[in-house]
Amino acid sequence: MVAIFLRSLLYNVLFYVLLVCLIILALPTFVMPRWAILGVAKFWARTSIWLLRVICGTSVEYRGVEKIPQGPLIVASKHQSMWETFALLQFFDQPLYILKRELEWIPFFGWYLKKAGMIGIDRAAGGRSLMKMVRRAGEEVRRGRQLIIFPEGTRTAVDAPPQYKPGVGQIYVSCGVACLPVALNSGLFWPRRTFLRYPGTLVVEFLDPLPPGLSRNEFTTRVSAVVEAATQRIVAAARAEQAQLFGRVPDVAAKKR
């Protein structure tokens, strides 16, 4: 555990040093088209994933990449960690996120979010803000972007009961495009509310796309069923790997929060 602590500490220092350096180097993108800042973000994602493997021994296996459709798309991913918020960027030409409006207020980082055309939402504004967000998401996706959403709305512990938000179905109906479900086990290797990073094989699995035209309720039922079933399968396999590495599953990665 001492080695994991030291490697995690080194990784986190380099992760944020890299982020600060790229924030500075990306200043010219403010006067460039959107693709420029998205390119910087994808470089940050790939480099951070490489550092995680080299320093912490956390490799990543991507399954089902061939299932990713081209063009406008909704990507509905399981959300266990901060990791997927940047790691999924690299697979899409025009990635789009819905995020808390407060993030846009962060100097430079928030300005880059605006430059990249992300959608900020005021959670305190209630239904009016939600409808505005749904409308804008539909407009952006129909222009050819790929909307990456986390149907549970926030990071959840690995074993926490899933709680898929009803607004996700409304976004799907508004966009009128296919949805790519994504399962993963990132919470075992980059747990929330701790800086520890664990070795092993982090798996991201792109599942069969759901077609457009489903009802809101049918979509929510189907996307939650396929994502949860696949997530449980790959989490179980990862825990078996961890048991071999450590002689047991690390408590911090396994327990509910």
d(CA 99, CA 118): 7
Q: What is the largest CA-CA distance in the chain?
A: 53
pLDDT of residue 253: 46
Contact 188, 115 (CB under 8 A): no
Band the pLDDT of 101: cuts 50, 70, 90. Answer: confident
pLDDT of residue 248: 66
pLDDT of residue 254: 44
The predicted-structure confidence for 103-122, as pLDDT tens digits, reads as follows: 888 999 999 999 999 998 87
Q: Is 148 helix (H, G, I), strand (E, B) or coil?
A: strand
pLDDT of residue 126: 66
Q: Which residues contact 73 (CB under 8 A, 6 or more apart)?
A: 92, 141, 146, 147, 177, 178, 179, 180, 209
Band the pLDDT of 209: cuts 50, 70, 90. Answer: very high
Bridge-based pairing state of the strands 179-184 and 200-206: antiparallel
pLDDT of residue 242: 82
pLDDT of residue 130: 80
d(CA 44, CA 66): 23
d(CA 141, CA 151): 17
Please provide the average confidence, as pLDDT, over all residues in the chain: 92
The pLDDT > 70 percentage for the chain reads 94
pLDDT of residue 174: 92
d(CA 167, CA 185): 24
pLDDT of residue 228: 97
Residue ranges and CATH numbers for the domains of the chain are: 60-254 (3.40.1130.10)
d(CA 138, CA 173): 9
Band the pLDDT of 95: cuts 50, 70, 90. Answer: very high
- pLDDT surpassing 90 at residue 230: yes
d(CA 58, CA 216): 37
pLDDT of residue 121: 85
- pLDDT surpassing 90 at residue 10: yes
pLDDT of residue 129: 76
Query: What number is the average pLDDT over the span 182-190?
Result: 97
Higher pLDDT, 163 or 13: 13
d(CA 62, CA 79): 16
Amino acid in the structure at residue 172:
Y
The DSSP call for residue 174 is H
